[in-house]
Amino acid sequence: MPNSAVASCDDLQTELTRQEEFPSCRFSVAPMLDWTDRHCRYFHRLMSEHALLYTEMVTTGAIIHGKGDFLAYNEEEHPLALQLGGSNPADLARCAQLAQERGYDEINLNVGCPSDRVQNGMFGACLMGEADLVAQCVSAMREVVDIPVTVKTRIGIDEQDSYEFLTQFISTVSEKSGCDDFTIHARKAWLKGLSPKENREIPPLDYPRVYQLKRDFPHLKMAINGGIKTFEEMDEHLKHLDGVMVGREAYQNPYMMAQVDQRLFGSTKPIIKQRELVEAMFPYIERQLANGSYLGHISRHMLGLFQGLPGARQWRRHISENAHKPGAGIEVLQQAVAKIPAELDV
């Protein structure tokens, strides 16, 4: 057998072993503020049974002192992780306990968001400079829950962007808290001078650094996040890491989710078609409308469903122009999907 074939078999066996050890994080959709709400997650779940879905970041203050129910979700969303924002160990522990009682499958601590508002609350990416505090926060949560407590972080902040800084952060948090599950956004964050949007685009991606991190901490579960768009890219990352987390691509081009189970989890179920997906949303939409939701709050997550196909622009335009109108219901989507040429088998 050629050496390349031997290497390929070895790589495959390594990847299969990793999947057996760490199956749950193989593919996840990133927590995205104002995007991955419960309507979005229900929509994504219709396309993938196995993807791990995350809530938007919810602050401990909102959960403890807010008037709304910030832990509400649809039972169909499992497996589902709650991402928490905060830096007070006692508050985080209380929220983690509440989340476990509500049935969440994982608690994730945000150590990656770079916005000014988050920094002012002393959480998010600025916590990378407070590794001991992060360890205390994770320890406090792990002491009161049985579900996994994980950390999502960057590869550095501001001028603290050396590999040594990153490894010190990971070793401190993992050793002092017992946390063994990290998702690494493969960019550093600039805490001053860049907006959150710019922080998702301007700092360069450094995938090799995350690969090296996994080699140096082989006992830890590690997933990678940042700029991932195609399954070919995911396959490459999975040669080095335990999981991939996809953000904007899963939201702006949601139909990619329909292939996740087949491409990454070995499912043999037929892939749902776009028209079937629209129809599958109707019962959910009608229930939500009956409970006081507005169509636009749900349909906005579906705008990219026909991306790249003839009629996609008309689909988006019809929904955008009509979903906000008083009394708008599933007829808006029925009319919108009629804009997609009937001869397309989608």
List average pLDDT for each run of 10 residues in the chain, which is 346 residues long. 41 44 74 95 97 96 93 96 96 98 97 69 83 97 97 93 97 97 94 75 91 98 97 97 96 97 94 97 97 96 96 97 96 97 90
Q: Are 268 and 48 in contact (CB under 8 A)?
A: no
pLDDT of 12 reads 43
Please tell me the pTM assigned to this model: 0.89
Q: Where is 15: in which H helix or E strand?
A: helix 3-21
* CA pair distance 100, 75, nearest whole angstrom: 14
pLDDT of 120 reads 57
pLDDT of 121 reads 60
Q: Where is 244: in which H helix or E strand?
A: strand 243-246
So which residues are the catalytic ones?
A: 113
Strands 181-185 and 149-153: parallel
Taking each helix axis as running N to C, give the angle between helix 89-101 and helix 131-142, from 0 to 180 degrees, rounded to the nearest 10.
40
* CA pair distance 71, 203, nearest whole angstrom: 33
pLDDT of 53 reads 97
* CA pair distance 255, 341, nearest whole angstrom: 18
Positive or negative: CA dihedral 215, 216, 220, 226: negative
pLDDT of 24 reads 56
Number of continuous H segments (helices) and E segments (strands) in the chain: 16, 8
Residue-wise pLDDT tens digits, 143-188: 999 999 999 999 998 888 999 999 999 999 999 999 999 999 999 9
Residue-wise pLDDT tens digits, 8-47: 444 444 444 444 443 457 999 999 999 999 999 999 999 9
